[in-house]
A = this chain, B = another copy of it.
Amino acid sequence: MSEKLMISRMGASVPDTIWVQGRDLCTELLGKIGFAEMTWLELTGELPSKAQTTLLEAMLLTLVEHGATPMAIATRLTYMGAPEALQGAVAAGLLGMGTTFAGTAEGAARMLYAGLKDAPADADISALAKAIVDRELDAKRPIFGIGHNLHKPIDPRTPVLFAIAEQQGYRGRYVALIEAVAAAAEARTGKSMPVNATGALGALCCELGLDWRLCRGLAVIGRSVGLVGHIAEELRNPIAKQIWMRTEEEIARSIAIADAKQEQDA
């Protein structure tokens, strides 16, 4: 048998209580802390300050609901096919929270951590930002957390999130760096490239000291609420079958048009 110890201190059940992160669920947590505090406790092993809770709540709220996203559609279609297993429908939706949608906050946090890793306290943030922008654009890579297709000229969530961070004493160097990155990108490209919500979330993950790989975890937690919400609406007013039928109809229509065109061209 392997000799290495296999240690996890997340929690344990004993006959007269449940231990969670070294705390008694029944006497120390239930009725004493809120859901966002519990989230912080799970992520870090420590209870959060009021400021950390407030900021984390705003971040989680931002991630819950965006209407008929690909994730919400996948959840509804899956629930129609497997109503016996709500957990599978939520899982199907969460599986779309990958690099396209959740990866940018993660990428922004990683970039910001790396950018300030060895920087002295009095580092020139603008110069650091310019170096990042030049490196990424020279390599023809997109800069995470900057610009948005729909939300123009600014992403309305960013100033609100940063204002909450400021009130709570968490508007620090990472926020400054992403703002400087946005400014440097605008200066170089001549285009409007404000910090978007995923950039703001990535910067705030850094301010809170969370591992950049957990940015995607926050997205998953927030979106799980939204996807259960979509199932709740689907129970009241189902639309999954219509989404399916219209997709089939549209494909049939498109094929007919394409085939007619091809015949005509021939």
A contacts, CB < 8 Å to B: 1-2, 4-21, 25-27, 29-31, 33-36, 38-39, 42-45, 54, 56-58, 60-62, 64-74, 77-78, 80-103, 150-152, 156-157, 160-161, 163-164, 211, 213-214, 216-221, 224-226, 228-233, 235, 237, 239-240, 242-252, 254-255, 257-258
Contact = CB atoms under 8 A, between A and B. Distances in A.
B82 A87 contact: yes
Given A30-B164, A61-B33, A15 B217 contact: no
Stoichiometry, as copies per complex, reads: 4
Contacts of A13: 66-67, 150-151
Contacts of A150: 13-15
Contacts of A213: 86, 235
Nearest to A39: B225
B246 A250 contact: yes
Contact of A38 (B56, B85, B90, B225): B225
